[in-house]
A and B are shown apart, each in its own frame.
Chain A
Amino acid sequence: MSKIVVITSGKGGVGKTTTAASFAAGLAKRGHKTAVIDFDVGLRNLDLVLGCERRVVFDFVNVITGDARLHQALIKDKRLDNLMILPASQTRDKDALTAEGVEQVLGELREQFDYIICDSPAGIERGAHLASYYADDAIVVTNPEVSSVRDSDRVLGLLASRTRRAEQGEDPVCEHLLLTRYDPHRVTKGEMLSVDDVCEILAIELLGVIPESTDVLNASNAGVPVILDEGADAGRAYDDAVARYLGEERPHRFIHAERKGLFGRMFGG
């Protein structure tokens, strides 16, 4: 039984595409057949983050309009056999995505893949709505920052009312919180909302905490999902999140600042 997972947030720039790339790669690495779709029509970027931008021939909209078959548009990842990417179209036509078209493509993907990851655009317009509409699970990407938390709460409201599952009265979309760009040092200083603060406000299950890290930028510079960088804290945190999603129990890491000694704090940088 395949699952459709939307990566969403409301606010832009919080790490949806980074998360979609790493989450999909993590599932594929564990042997699950995974497709990841870029729903950000007009602002295609998942291809860059996954390093396949030069191999894009057809896109999501081409498949919907019938100009290409699904298998022609899917790009096979060079590192992971089980991972395929469906890039967004660069068209400026806002109505290029249709509900029927999206439903049909997702239906076809369901026959071939275990997991279908939908990388939602920011906002709550058509693209974001369609990315969430058919979802079974949602990963809500949130930064420990007021505007991001507020937007996440708004998105949770939409997941509970404006999805196929909500409209058909089925079991609700299963919601997971992924807190990204977390800086334990600033939390200790009282300058940043803590994991507990955000969990208390949003009241959904915590899937993982990704620490703020230069490795994330380095990975996207190179076109490699950060989860494949096993030496990076952010990569290991994503790996934990994927394991938890699949039912493994793993303690949360990278949420406490390493305490510097008294000497280090008084004389260090």
Chain B
Amino acid sequence: MNIARFFRERSKERQGGGSASVAKERLQIIVSHERAERGGGPDYLPMLRDELLEVVRRYVTVDPGAVRVEVERDGTHEVLELNITLPEHPGPYPPPGRRR
């Protein structure tokens, strides 16, 4: 019986396919998802985003979702990533309601 088990376990090891690889894959997905959700960063991020949006809107008409602020962990340091999507057809400058 032990001989049969020996070969079964050997083949499992060779394939590298225990349940651990599934666990790792599932964890990587859920953890990165949850990190993105909590912003992975400091509390000031939503405020920073709102203020940036306000500044951008002084010059260009953009959607509320056009400004994205994210903090990514890369080993020991963190990277603050700003992403502003400009519209394909920018409106008149200055945007309506922002004339001084």
Q: Enumerate chain A interface residues (CB-CB to B < 8 A).
A: 145-146, 149-150, 153-154, 157, 160-161, 166, 187-194, 197, 201, 203, 265-269
Contacts and interface: CB of A to CB of B under 8 A. Distances in A.
B35 A157 contact: yes
Range of interface residues on chain B? 20 to 34
Interface of B: 2-3, 6, 9, 12-13, 16-21, 23-24, 26-28, 30-31, 34-35, 38, 40-43, 73, 75
Contact of B75 (A157, A201, A203): A203
B interface secondary structure, majority:
helix
Most buried by B among A166, A189, A190: A190
Contact of A153 (B9, B17, B34, B75): B34
A interface secondary structure, majority:
helix
Contacts of B9: 189
Nearest to A202: B31
B18 A197 contact: no
A157 B38 contact: yes
Contact of B24 (A157, A160, A197): A197
Nearest to B38: A157
Nearest to A191: B18
Contact of A150 (B2, B30, B41): B30
B34 A154 contact: yes
A250 B80 CA distance: 35
B20 A265 contact: no
Contacts of A192: 18, 20
B2 A266 contact: yes
B19 A191 contact: yes
B27 A189 contact: no
Given A190-B21, A269-B2, 6 more contacts: A149-B31, A153-B31, A161-B42, A166-B42, A189-B12, A191-B19
B26 A201 contact: no
A146 B18 contact: no
